[in-house]
Amino acid sequence: MKIKNSILVLLVGMFCQSCMTLALWRTTNPHEYVWIDSSEITEKELQQRNVAYLKHEKNRRSGYLVEKNSAQKLQDYSQRIFGTPVTLVMDGVEVIIVGILSNHLTTDAAFLLLENL
């Protein structure tokens, strides 16, 4: 049972390394386009504003994928700059905890095997 636990802890540790940092970077992508429904804006308005956009249909609803403006990009970069150190520390702590648990569980499993020989 202990061996199964240690394998499970090791697998969780492998798959969750840098989970928070990657999640932060995925959600704050400054190059991602924003979805705007066609009921909220017209193609003519987008052309007048001189923004990059793509006409797109999403779940049978028409709309536009519009490039983020400078303020939105600045916000994404700011969140990355100030959030990344925090998420790196949290990911590091997670790896350390998983390492300690896996070492502890593996050591216990080894002692159990030796006692049963």
Structural domain includes residue 6: yes
- Does the pLDDT of residue 55 top 70, yes or no? yes
What percent of the chain stands above pLDDT 70? 68
* CA neighbor of 33 nearest in space, from 54, 49, 48: 54
- Which residue would you say has higher pLDDT here, 87 or 95? 87
Under the banding of pLDDT at 50, 70 and 90, the label for residue 94 is confident
Q: Assess if residue 92 is contained within a domain.
A: yes
pLDDT at 77 over 90: yes
| Tens-place pLDDT, residues 17-54 | 568 888 899 999 999 999 999 899 999 999 999 999 99
Domain span at 109: 1-30+84-117
Does residue 75 have a pLDDT over 50? yes
In this structure, is residue 16 part of a structural domain?
Answer: yes
pTM: 0.65
Q: Which residue has the higher pLDDT, 5 or 44?
A: 44
How far separated are the first and last CA of the chain, in Å rounded? 17
Assigned domain for 79 exists: no
In a domain, 55, yes or no: no
Residue 1 lies in a domain: yes
Q: Is residue 109 part of a domain?
A: yes
pLDDT of the residue at 113: 47
Please indicate, yes or no, if residue 104 is contained in any of the structural domains. yes
Tell me the residue length of the chain. Answer: 117
How many structural domains are present in the chain? 1
